[in-house]
Amino acid sequence: MTPGPPARYAGGPFAPMTPLNGFGLGLRPRHYRAILETRPRIDWFEVLSENYMVPGGRPLHLLDRIRERYPMVLHGVSLSVGGSDPLDRGYLRQLKALAARVQPAWISDHLCWTGVAGRNLHDLLPLPYTEEALRHVARRVRAVQDFLGRRILLENVSSYVAYRASAMTEWGFLAALCREADCDLLLDVNNIYVSAFNHGFDPIEYLDGIPPGRVRQIHLAGHDHCGDLIIDTHDAKVIEPVWRLYAEAVRRFGLVPTMIERDDRIPPLANLVRELDRAREIAAATLPRKAA
Amino acid sequence: MTRLARLQRAFQHHIDWPGAPMQAAVAPGPRADASRRLGVYAEAYRLRLVEALGNDYPALRFTLGEAGFARRMREFVEARPSRHANLRWYGAELSRHLARAAARRPLLAELARFEWALGLAFDAADAPPATVADVARIPSAGWPRLRLRLHPSVQRVELFTNAPDVWRAAVRHERRLAARRLLEPRSWLVWRKDLEPFYRALSGDEARALAFAARGWRFGRLCGGLRDIVGTDQAAPRAASLLKAWLNEGLIGAIE
């Protein structure tokens, strides 16, 4: 994986990220036993940070046991890096403590806001893509990175609204944010597909606008097609058009660590391992074979 | 206030009050109008919180039925917006809310309180439990000065209904048990041992003794407190037998 383009941000420097390769799954409690008993062929797990921001007990005990066997990355939903309330220092302290315990290859959250005036709507709400928002988010990403002592990854969210105030595309915003804040990207290919349908943009144009050196991880997921909108439910298999878009992403960004994210109607682990094999096959078929 | 902050406040207000003006800030989509697009967020907000409450309160959900539970929880969501970074803690105030909102059905608030206590025990802080062998190493002359630190998962819950029985019937047997009000409140102990939450009823003197220990009383003073309840002759043997039982059950996190 090549390093990102030169950044204007003078913070850091941060230690290089731990290398992580291959194909992972989101760690879900339903699969704890199967993971420990069958040692499935999964290269790494993505852990939902908030699920383990608890004092102790079974969740942390099992997290430690699985961590002994598999590399992990942390993925949060409450950073609200685009929010207009001050950053939640208590949350950041908990995140840093969890990272010290898990030693993740990296930490990610979403390009979104989750509430204002002290509220948390527990949703990933879209930002207007304006210069003002860019400066605001970049400043906060830098503050988070300085606090955590490491570069973070931000994920593109699925969205159902776009704002009249937006002056740039989402991919243009992400590219500018990577430059301004020296952060990296978790590219959710399903979210690109969902938002492309909901807002009427070309997902290929989106991929073309993403700086390749910044994409450190890829998410794949299923969704719910409601006719007039696609809702990002993470409760179904990855559909064919998303697999095709994934192949386009691999063509542009190379063999980036890729995982399937399933949050609802979670099937047995073996089913997800089989679905993950599809990602392996597509990546292998898409990448040029190395000369012997 | 910045334009971004104003936009976010308007959006949040629209989620709380879906009729509130916000559509003008939203660009038209290719297939769905602004109202429909915004409505996804307003509905998802409520569904997500109700779903999280359902995970934290399975017996309450079973007792109320899906529709009844959703109605009660939506009332809670409207009354108590989340201020927690972590959804794990959102349901903390549900019992207090139900005590007012469902005052004529006290079982509901007590069932919620009991389930929340079990949840707290589930992921309370870890502490290696003290054992009988730890105490045996201490010379008997030093016992009166011992201070027992309860395991972080230990909670005492006083209930005026048969909520623990209703919980057990719902979770273990998927059976609805009729609510029953007690003439006298009953004390329950909730804690975690070997990663599993447990509960059991407490006798009157044990409940008092645990309360003394929770206050940090030394063992000698704890015996003195028991003297008023079980009599002078029985205080020391009763305290010793309680201590042994607590150690065996993993209720003591440390002995100082």
Q: Mind listing the pLDDT tens digit for each residue in A33-79?
A: 999 999 999 999 999 999 999 999 999 999 999 999 999 999 999 99
Q: What one-character-per-residue DSSP string does A103-119 give?
A: --S-EEEESSB--STT-
pLDDT of residue A13: 66
Exposure on the CB side of residue A165, measured as CA atoms within 13 A: 18
Nearest-Cα distance to chain A for B95, in Å, is 20
User: Chains A and B: how many Cβ contacts under 8 Å?
Assistant: 142
The angle formed by the CA atoms of residues A18, A215 and A106, to the nearest 5 degrees, is: 30
pLDDT score recorded for residue A290: 56
User: Residue B78 is encoded by which pair of tokens?
Assistant: 């409207």
* Strands A44-48 vs A72-75: parallel, antiparallel or unpaired: parallel
B8 to A116: CB separation less than 8 angstroms, yes or no: yes
**Interface touch B123/A54, C-beta < 8 Å:** yes
Q: A56: which chain B residues are within 8 Å (Cβ-Cβ)?
A: 123-126, 152
Residues B211, B176, single domain; the answer is: yes
Query: B104, B136, B165: which is the final residue of a domain?
Result: B104
Q: Is residue A5 part of a domain?
A: no
Residue of A nearest to B192 (CA): A57
Q: Does A59 reside within a domain?
A: yes
**Above pLDDT 90, what percent of chain A?**
87
The ipTM of this complex is: 0.92
Among candidates A58, A132, A198 on the partner chain, residue whose Cβ is nearest the Cβ of B3: A132
pLDDT band at A16 (very low <50, low <70, confident <90, very high): confident
Task: Give the three-state DSSP class for B128.
Answer: coil
Nearest Cβ partner of A56 from B85, B88, B126?
B126
Identify whether residues B251 and B236 lie together within a single domain: yes
* CATH number (domain holding residue B151): 3.90.930.50
Provide the residue range defining the domain that includes B86.
Answer: 1-104
3-state SS, residue A259: strand
Contact A208, A252 (CB under 8 A): yes
Within this chain, do residues B69 and B165 fall inside the same structural domain, yes or no?
A: no
Q: How far is CA A27 from CA A36, A86, A124, B242, in A?
A: 12, 30, 20, 41
Q: Quick check: A12 pLDDT over 70?
A: no
Taken in order A125, A127, A133, A138, the sign of the CA dihedral is positive
Cα–Cα distance, A238 to A33 (Å, whole number): 24
Count: domains in chain A: 1
Q: Which residues of A touch B253 (CB under 8 A)?
A: none
**Beta-bridge partners for B197:** B192
Residues B208 and B156 in one domain: yes
Question: Is residue A86 within 8 Å of residue A118, measured between CB atoms?
Answer: no
Among residues B104, B128, B155, which one ends one of the domains? B104
Q: Are residues B97 and B110 both part of a single domain?
A: no
Q: CA B207, CA A107: separation in Å to the nearest integer?
A: 45
In a domain, A78, yes or no: yes
pLDDT at residue number A43: 97
Q: Which residues of A touch B124 (CB under 8 A)?
A: 55-57
pLDDT band at A14 (very low <50, low <70, confident <90, very high): confident
Q: Out of B82, B86, B153, whose CB is closest to A119?
A: B82
Closest CA of chain A from B179, distance in Å: 31
Query: Among partner residues B2, B15, B49, which is closest to A84 by beta-carbon distance?
Result: B2
Residue A271 counted as domain residue: yes
- Burial (Cβ within 10 Å: 0-12, 13-18, ≥19) of residue A131: exposed
Q: Are B136 and B94 part of one and the same domain?
A: no
Partners of B10 on chain A (C-beta within 8 Å) are none
Tell me the sheet residues that pair with B202.
B187
All residues of chain A having their beta carbon less than 8 Å from the beta carbon of residue B40 are 160, 229, 231
Residue A260 lies in a domain: yes
DSSP-derived letter for residue A17 is P
Is A164 inside any structural domain? Answer: yes
Q: Is residue A15 part of a domain?
A: no
Stretch among A33-37, A157-161, A279-283, B18-22 having the lowest mean pLDDT: B18-22
Same-domain status, B45 and B154:
no
Give the contacts of B239 (CB within 8 A, at least 6 positions apart).
Answer: B209, B219, B222, B223, B226
- Mean pLDDT score across all residues of chain B: 95
A56–chain B nearest CA distance, Å: 4
Q: Which helix (H) or strand (E) holds A23?
A: strand A23-26
- A243/A236 Cα distance (integer angstroms): 13
Q: Is the pLDDT of residue A280 over 70?
A: yes
Domain boundary pick from B104, B132, B164:
B104
| Residue from the list B7, B9, B31 with its beta carbon closest to the beta carbon of A165 | B7
List the single residue in B15, B81, B192 with the smallest CB-CB distance to A57: B192
User: Over the stretch A100-141, which tens digit does the pLDDT of each residue have?
Assistant: 999 999 999 999 999 999 999 999 999 999 999 999 999 999
pLDDT digits 0-9 by tens, A212-256: 999 999 999 999 999 889 998 888 999 999 999 999 999 999 999
Q: Quick one: closest CA in B to A227, which residue?
A: B31
- A153 pLDDT tier (thresholds 50, 70, 90): very high
The nearest CA of chain A is from the CA of B50 a distance in Å of: 12
B123 and B72 fall within a common domain: no
Q: Which residues of A touch B48 (CB under 8 A)?
A: 122-123
Contact B34 A161 (CB under 8 A): yes
Helix axes B232-249, B204-214, angle to 10 degrees: 70
What per-residue confidence (pLDDT) applies to A7? 42
| Same domain (yes/no): B97, B111 | no
Residues B237 and B254 in one domain: yes
**End-to-end Cα, chain B, rounded Å:** 54
Q: A117 and B12 in contact by Cβ < 8 A?
A: yes
Determine the residue among B86, B88, B195 to mutate to test chain A binding: the one whose Cβ has the most chain A Cβ atoms within 10 Å.
Answer: B86
Return the amino acid letter for A226.
C
Q: Which of B8, B49, B124 sits opposite A84 (nearest CB)?
A: B8
> Quick check: is A54 in a domain?
yes
> Which residue in A64, A121, A226 has the most chain B C-beta atoms within 10 A of its own C-beta, making it the best mutation to test that interface?
A121
Q: Which of A17, A23, A42 is nearest to A255 (CA)?
A: A23
Asked if residue B50 has pLDDT above 50, the reply is yes
A188-215 pLDDT, tens per residue?
A: 999 999 999 999 999 999 999 999 999 9
How far is it, in rounded angstroms, from Cα B157 to Cα B109?
A: 12
C-alpha span between A66 and A59 (Å, rounded): 11
Please judge whether A121 and B15 are an interchain contact, meaning their C-beta atoms are less than 8 angstroms apart.
yes
Q: Which domain holds residue A173?
A: 24-286
Please check whether residues B100 and B168 belong to one and the same domain. no
CA atoms of B153 and B143, how far apart (whole Å): 24
Question: CA-nearest residue of chain B to A121?
Answer: B45
Domains of chain B: total: 2
Q: Residue A203 maps to which CATH number?
A: 3.20.20.150
Do B96 and B149 belong together in one domain? no
Please give the full DSSP string across A50-104, using - where no structure is assigned. GGG-SSSSHHHHHHHHHHTTS-EEEE-S---TT-SSPP-HHHHHHHHHHHHHH--
